[in-house]
Amino acid sequence: MNKFLIVADQSNYDIKVPKSIKKEFFQLDDTFLLTDLEDGLSMVRKIGKNDSFIYSNEWRYVQNGEKI
């Protein structure tokens, strides 16, 4: 089982963890886009570290009462 601790702001980067636990820092940015879909959401996500990033586009909407 994997466990993760997520720190939201830079002032908490210096948290004390045991040396046996790997500590990594990465950047995650979500940009929400306007959409014409009723009850729809479009988002571009940027995630990465050390000036190397991956971008993804996600669409969320409701169809027949089910979240897609």
Total structural domains within the chain: 1
- pLDDT for the residue numbered 26: 83
pLDDT tens sequence across 10-30: 666 667 777 887 777 788 899
Predicted model pTM: 0.61
Instruction: State the residue range of the domain holding 61.
Output: 27-68
The answer as to whether 65 is a domain residue is yes
Measured CA to CA, the distance from residue 60 to residue 39 in angstroms comes to: 8
Whether 64 is covered by a domain: the verdict is yes
Residue 4 within a domain: no
**Does residue 11 lie in a domain region?**
no
Q: Is residue 52 part of a domain?
A: yes
* Residue 17 included in any domain: no
